[in-house]
Amino acid sequence: MTDVTINAADGGTFTGYLAKPAGGTGPGIVVIQEIFGVNHVMREICDDLAAQGYLALCPDLFWRQEPGIQITDKTDEEWAKAFELYKGFSEVKGVDDLIAALGVLRDTEGCNGLVGTLGYCLGGKLAYLMATRSNADCSVSYYGVGIEKNLDEASAITKPYLAHIAEKDQFVPAPAQQQIRDALSKISCVTVHTYPGCDHAFARVGGAHYDKQAADLANQRTAAFLKEHLTA
């Protein structure tokens, strides 16, 4: 497990946390952070994916504001910091950075050339945008916030895309969820699952709204999806 350097399309460099499988080879997954940076939770997700046989890379998307952010969801101060970073974040540049990370991962020694994306919260929205704007081989969103604002791009999805929606998501109201389901239901390579009674971040281990049963189900679905679409 190590940090790697990625060249941004508009100049400058940023880092990403890279976890490799014990065997050294496998498909790649770009793991897309929540609003708390490349923290312990994101690194553990990468390590778990590596244990499943993937090369997992989580790039630092807040590097233009403050490189190396690693905060938690445990204090009001950290939440305030996270929302400050979120407000200052450019989705357009973020997607550009993710596309750069995707290219780096594809070229990493041991990667079989197939690379998907997997994002949570902010990362869930960005995984959707990677499905519409990049050549990722598949993409997965967990409770993406703001997807309904970019549904005009949905027709650009040509590779498999999986979305997990929390029914009681405090950041994605029911009307927005319905808009998402309605738009994505028209695309054959898209699968959407809704988790009844669950709030935002139901799959974040240790989080206030963690729901083990729903998280296990979502993670099982994700594992099967990634295995199906990233196996050479």
CB 232 within 8 A of CB 205: no
Q: Is 40 among the residues known to form the active site?
A: no
Total domains present in the chain: 1
Q: What would the pLDDT profile of 154-210 be if each residue is shown by its tens digit?
A: 999 999 999 999 999 999 999 999 999 999 999 999 999 999 999 999 999 998 999
Has 169 been annotated as catalytic? yes
Give the structural domain span for 129: 2-230
Q: Give the Cα separation of 92 and 180 in Å (integer).
A: 20
231, 26 Cβ separation under 8 angstroms: no
CATH code of residue 48: 3.40.50.1820
Q: Which of 97, 137, 200, 211 is catalytic?
A: 200
76-121 pLDDT tens trace: 999 999 999 999 999 999 999 999 999 999 999 999 999 999 999 9
The residue type of 69 is: I
At 197 the three-state DSSP class reads coil
In sequence order, which residues have a C-beta less than 8 Å from that of residue 219 and are 6 or more positions away? 203
Task: State the catalytic residue, choosing from 60, 169, 199, 211.
Answer: 169
Contact between 28 and 115 under an 8 Å Cβ cutoff? The reply is: yes
